[in-house]
Amino acid sequence: MRKSIMCLATLGAMTLHLACGSTSDPVAGEPGAPLPGLTDAQLARFAEGHAMFNKQFTQEEGLGPLLNEARCSSCHDLPTSGGSGVEFVFKATHFDGETCDLLVREGGDNVQQRATELAREHGFFREEYPPSSTGRTKVSGPSLYGLGLVDAIAEETLLALEDPDDADGNGISGRAGRTVDGRVGRFGRKADVATLFEFIEGALRAEMGLTTYLHPVEETINGVPVPPEIDPAPDPEIDERALGALTDYVRFLAPPVRAIPDDPAVRDTMERGESVFREIGCAGCHVPSMETGPNDIAALDRKTIDLYSDFLLHDLGPAFADVCGPGATPSEYRTASLMSLRSRIEYFHDDRAGTLRSAILTHGGEAMAVRDNFARLSASAQLDLIRFLSSL
């Protein structure tokens, strides 16, 4: 099974669909556009969720009392609603060498940086890093384009890409991330969230301080229960319809179409760069394409998506070691999808790289061999690769 799936990592995106058994063209649209093929009812849900995604919540509606931002689009607006962002979220965890503690008893791994007016009036201004944390980091908002298709990929497809013992000897030993309760994860920097629905629901609680019908109790402030006088809104603050609409908005966001220039010479350069991408080993983790499984929603049913990720955990080396995840060590991260890469202005989860070239050269751990392959390329071949990446 693994060999049949790994053809994804060794063939170009244009030959992939034939060689790996998929005959559909990859799904794509303009940034922020809905998936092609949605029904009128689904487009209405998309519009309803879009309004919720851009809504500025108030403390009277349940915002906070601690939060990072007051609306979803504050962290996801480049180049449109649903894209990436430059605002940082601060994280902290404890790792004892074997297990990861998300520090729920001390307020959780998301360290909220802001407070509502009512909270400030009562002396609460922000959370502090939990004293027992052993790892801290900051992360910027990822692009949400195409995540409904990612959610629709069969779990077996992802598991077939695992090679935890590096059986093929290529130096890459990806493995699936896990949720707190042991399910296969595919969302989050540590691949610790299993479904898109859970990803959205968790973000509402952690980033905006909104309780939901699934979790109607406010999270603590560094372990201290929220005083009722600073949270006047009745719980839950987000009902089933609102959460469903928000999830469907993200579910129905199309993956971004490639930026292909009119100049034939530049297109040739990008095609050469795509070949370099495969030849030096980038596709070993950034798998160009996958196909979704059977789905009741026609727009998600057995569709090809050019995602450039295997959604597995890989060890990036000690320079990246910071927070842990339920199934991830501090130096392990889920392979970032390169969809909408051209909308980023800085790279990596913490924006440590300011250019694509420096981002490639910053890779470590399992990616060292590929990084060194890139460093040995001629200047023109490096430029070809960067122009290809800039089209994604």
Q: What is the DSSP string of 69-117?
A: -SSGGGTS-BSSTTSB---EEEEEEEE-SS-EE--GGGT-SB---EE-H
Look at residue 169 in the predicted model and tell me its pLDDT: 86
Count each helix (H run) and each strand (E run) in the chain, helices first. Answer: 12, 11
Distance (Å, whole) CA 136 – CA 138: 7
Pairing verdict, β 332-334 and 114-115: unpaired
Place of tokens 């790994």: 6
Look at residue 171 in the predicted model and tell me its pLDDT.
87
Q: 177: which strand partners?
A: 185
Positive or negative: CA dihedral 150, 364, 270, 76: positive
Per-domain boundaries in the chain: 2-389
DSSP 68: S
Q: What is the mean pLDDT of each run of 10 residues along the chain (392 residues)?
A: 35 32 77 97 98 97 97 96 95 97 97 97 96 96 97 97 90 94 96 98 97 96 94 96 98 95 89 97 97 98 98 96 97 96 91 95 95 98 97 95
If we measure between CA atoms, which residue out of 249, 247, 130, 126 comes closest to residue 193?
Answer: 247
| Residue 262: predicted pLDDT | 87
Task: Write down the pLDDT at residue 371.
Answer: 97
| Per-residue pLDDT, 20 | 41
Q: For 221, which DSSP code?
A: B
DSSP 353: B
Q: Report the half-sphere exposure of 224 (CA within 13 A, side-chain side).
A: 14
Amino acid 5: pLDDT: 34
Amino acid at site 343:
S
| Tokens coding 318 | 């000690």
* Cα gap 380→140, rounded to integer Å: 31
pLDDT for residue 254? 98
- Percentages helix, strand, coil for the chain, rounded to the nearest 5? 35, 15, 50
The pTM (predicted TM-score) of the whole model is 0.92
CB 141 within 8 A of CB 84: yes
Amino acid letter at 204? Answer: L
One-letter amino acid identity for 270? Answer: M
Ramachandran category for residue 233: left, alpha or beta (phi over 0 → left; psi -120 to 50 → alpha):
beta
Name the burial class of residue 9, with classes exposed (0-12), middle (13-18) and buried (19+) by CB atoms within 10 angstroms of its CB.
Answer: buried
Q: What is the pLDDT of residue 354?
A: 94
- The whole-angstrom separation of Cα 348 and Cα 16 is 27
The residue among 245, 242, 240, 270 whose CA lies nearest residue 341 is: 270
What is the spatial distance between Cα 283 and Cα 36, in angstroms, rounded to a whole number? Answer: 27
